Structure 1
Amino acid sequence: MNKRLNGWKAIAAFFDRDRTTVARWARERNLPIHHIPGGKQRSVFAFEHELAAWARQHAAEVGPIDAPPAVQDPTPPPPAASPRRWSWIAAAACLCLAALLAGYLLWPRQPVTPRPSPAHAAVMAEYIAARDAWARRTPQDIAASIRMYESIIARAPDFAPARAGLAEAWLIYREYGDVGDAKAFATAKIAANKAVTLDPDLPAAHRALGFVAYWWDNEPAEAVRAFQRAIALDDRDSQSHFWYANVLADMGKDEAAERHYRQARLLAPGSQPIAVEHACAQWQAGRDALALQLMTALKAKHPEDATIPNCLAWVHIGRGDIAAYARELGDSARLRG
């Protein structure tokens, strides 16, 4: 019963209840849920033995909890194919994958409708500078991007991309800067809603609303709809695939999350934030050893990134290494200032 359950979906399945019910128990009945602090998402996990002990104390409301089912012996595998046959199968699979990838990247698509630009070149130049600052992901740069977006909005209040950019900046500032969830999410939601009002077909506005719906409003169905809308509007936007993958990983939809992580990395090769979150998602999927390997390599490559030791801390505590957990959490706090 020491098994770790990652995400609300797995925790709800333990009780055979829906996500909303167990989230309410966490708020009102002190259900032993662990939150990962300091990250972009508000991911949660729990341990089966703690949930079972809580359930015994609240048996009247919860009812009996069945023990996890015994693991059944797998079906005997079919006879192994000859090495020569496997070589042909592998070659065919590689050719099919290459053809699919080439078809996806080269197939002519309906161009994305260009967003209207502000009238003044100086405003557009500041918008580009704000995007660049946001992408650098340091507390100082993200704070600077927020100031620039606010300046743009003051001069060009109908420029929807600046509103969406402001929403995304506040959402990311939670991860890298010193700002509380309530302020960040509330400010981001206002900005994203205004962006959608100004431009209903702006993908960035829909994905920002999806982010808020999932990680703050506890509305997973609404979040999925928002992210799917963003991707339908522009399926080559790496940020939409990336944030949707984070949500899918937290929901326990590992295969779907992997597809969107890979698509995000194809569209934005070399992206440090995507690589970090993709590695951390391996921990959410229960692949602790792989997560540790990937995150350790990323920390050596990007020692200034506060999100990496934050994720490493939870990898270590999941493995029972309290000293390493404390060390990594201290590194994350130091980098966040």
Structure 2
Amino acid sequence: MRGKHFWNKRTGDDIKKALEYFKEAVNIEPLYALAHVGIAESYDLLHQYTGISSRETYPKGKAAALKALEIEANLGEAHIAIAYALTEHFWDWEAAEAEYKKGLELSPNYATGHQWYAEYLTNMGRYDEAKKEIKIARELDPLSLVILLVEAFVYHLSGDMESARRFMDRNIELYPDHSSMYFNKADLHLGEGEYEEAAQMWLKAFEINKVSAEVLDERREAFNLSGIKGLFKVFLESNLKQEPINSYRVAVDYYVLGEYESSLDWLERAIEDRLFWMVYVNQEPLFSDPEFRSNPRFQAIIKKMNFPD
């Protein structure tokens, strides 16, 4: 229970705590299959939330889920954990969907399974199916922060901006102290060219994350003086100093700055880094400029990701 509590909080430190609790449970009872699933699910999220290399995390997650299935062959949650790893790191789309379907057949009331399958379907561009899955997830767990966040994300990527805005406003009302809700809406405003609103959302998120007053002032001034490109120049400088560098975020920075070749350089690096965020690249609302999408280098990236037709 403690492990799941920390896992649901969705911060890097909390997921690390969750992993330790699940490992402790396995040490006490090696045949506790759900504890092995907890280990798998924790490894499945570590890369996304901590920046630890995906090559260090997802294979361990898959192995822990397979161990759970050795103990309890019909444990749907274990199949779902495998599906998530196959999606986010191994990019084996066909095998991932088979595992999702098997897992949800065995554990139809597992909200996270429906949520993760909704994310998979969104990344495949199958929005009507994704909306059905995320609706099931929300009905099973109506106040889950991450499920509500993903619901807004699904509608945003589907192009239903009216619903996406409504869901995002609901999320901010329910979780006014959680920065991800503001980052989520900032991305929508950015894609819609609503730069003032986007900047306000980012600044609020940074404030919640306890970014220093000096940094907040720098970012506010950059936007006030030079608009969205001024702000993204500051974002780029900051992201290039991170360790490890999130090459997908750097690619987005260069895209917004209009430096498409540099953006493509970093997307190619993101493939080599096997970054979690690359599963979004084909449906990413920001990468909408026909000049960018028709670039042979971008087309080669999509081909390398081997998304289904």
- Deviation larger for 325-334 or 141-150: 325-334
What displacement does 1:277 show? 0.5
Matched, 1:194 2:93: no
Letter aligned with residue 89 of structure 2:
W
| CA distance in 1 between partners of 2:183 and 2:148 (Å) | 15
| CA distance in 1 between partners of 2:65 and 2:72 (Å) | 10
Unaligned runs of 5+ in 1: 1-127
Q: Aligned to 1:185, which of 47, 50, 58?
A: 58
Matched, 1:142 2:25: no
In structure 2, the residue matched to 1:153 is 26
Please state which structure has a larger fraction of its residues in helix: 2
Matched, 1:211 2:84: yes
Q: Aligned to 1:320, which of 173, 189, 193?
A: 193
Matched, 1:162 2:35: yes
| CA distance in 2 between partners of 1:297 and 1:333 (Å) | 20
Once the two structures are superposed, residues 220-250 of structure 1 have per-residue CA deviations (whole angstroms, 9 ceiling, x without a partner) of 1111100100111121222211211111122
Letter aligned with residue 20 of structure 2:
R
The answer to whether the Cα contact below 8 Å between 2:151 and 2:167 also exists between their aligned partners in 1 is no
| CA distance in 2 between partners of 1:135 and 1:256 (Å) | 25
Q: Aligned to 2:169, which of 275, 286, 296?
A: 296
- Deviation larger for 193-202 or 221-230: 193-202
- Deviation larger for 148-157 or 173-182: 173-182
Once the two structures are superposed, residues 78-123 of structure 1 have per-residue CA deviations (whole angstroms, 9 ceiling, x without a partner) of xxxxxxxxxxxxxxxxxxxxxxxxxxxxxxxxxxxxxxxxxxxxxx
Call closer, same or farther: CA 1:179–1:326 in 2, change over 3 Å: farther
The answer to whether the Cα contact below 8 Å between 2:179 and 2:209 also exists between their aligned partners in 1 is yes
Using CA pairs under 8 Å that are at least 6 residues apart, name the structure with larger relative contact order, 1 or 2: 1
What displacement does 1:184 show? 3.0
Matched, 1:266 2:143: no
Q: Aligned to 1:241, which of 100, 110, 114?
A: 114
Q: Aligned to 1:285, which of 153, 158, 162?
A: 158
- 1:1-337 equivalences in 2 (<5 Å): 128-322=1-195, 324-325=197-198, 328-329=201-202
Call closer, same or farther: CA 1:297–1:264 in 2, change over 3 Å: closer
Letter aligned with residue 202 of structure 1:
L
TM-score, scaled to structure 1: 0.56
Call closer, same or farther: CA 1:196–1:334 in 2, change over 3 Å: farther
What displacement does 1:335 show? 5.6
The answer to whether the Cα contact below 8 Å between 2:131 and 2:155 also exists between their aligned partners in 1 is no
What displacement does 1:189 show? 2.1
TM-score, scaled to structure 2: 0.60
Unaligned runs of 5+ in 2: 211-309
What displacement does 1:178 show? 5.0
What displacement does 1:334 show? 6.5
Call closer, same or farther: CA 1:332–1:201 in 2, change over 3 Å: farther
Partner SS for 2:143? coil
The answer to whether the Cα contact below 8 Å between 2:185 and 2:198 also exists between their aligned partners in 1 is yes
The answer to whether the Cα contact below 8 Å between 1:316 and 1:324 also exists between their aligned partners in 2 is yes
The answer to whether the Cα contact below 8 Å between 1:245 and 1:258 also exists between their aligned partners in 2 is yes
Letter aligned with residue 189 of structure 1:
K
Partner SS for 2:90? coil
Cα RMSD for the two superposed structures: 2.5
Letter aligned with residue 108 of structure 2:
D
Call closer, same or farther: CA 1:209–1:333 in 2, change over 3 Å: farther
Call closer, same or farther: CA 1:177–1:332 in 2, change over 3 Å: farther
Call closer, same or farther: CA 1:176–1:301 in 2, change over 3 Å: farther
The answer to whether the Cα contact below 8 Å between 1:309 and 1:329 also exists between their aligned partners in 2 is yes
Letter aligned with residue 134 of structure 1:
W
Call closer, same or farther: CA 1:190–1:328 in 2, change over 3 Å: farther
In structure 2, the residue matched to 1:39 is none
State, as a whole percentage, how many aligned pairs show the same letter: 22
Call closer, same or farther: CA 1:297–1:236 in 2, change over 3 Å: closer
The size of the alignment, in residue pairs, is 210
What displacement does 1:326 show? 5.1
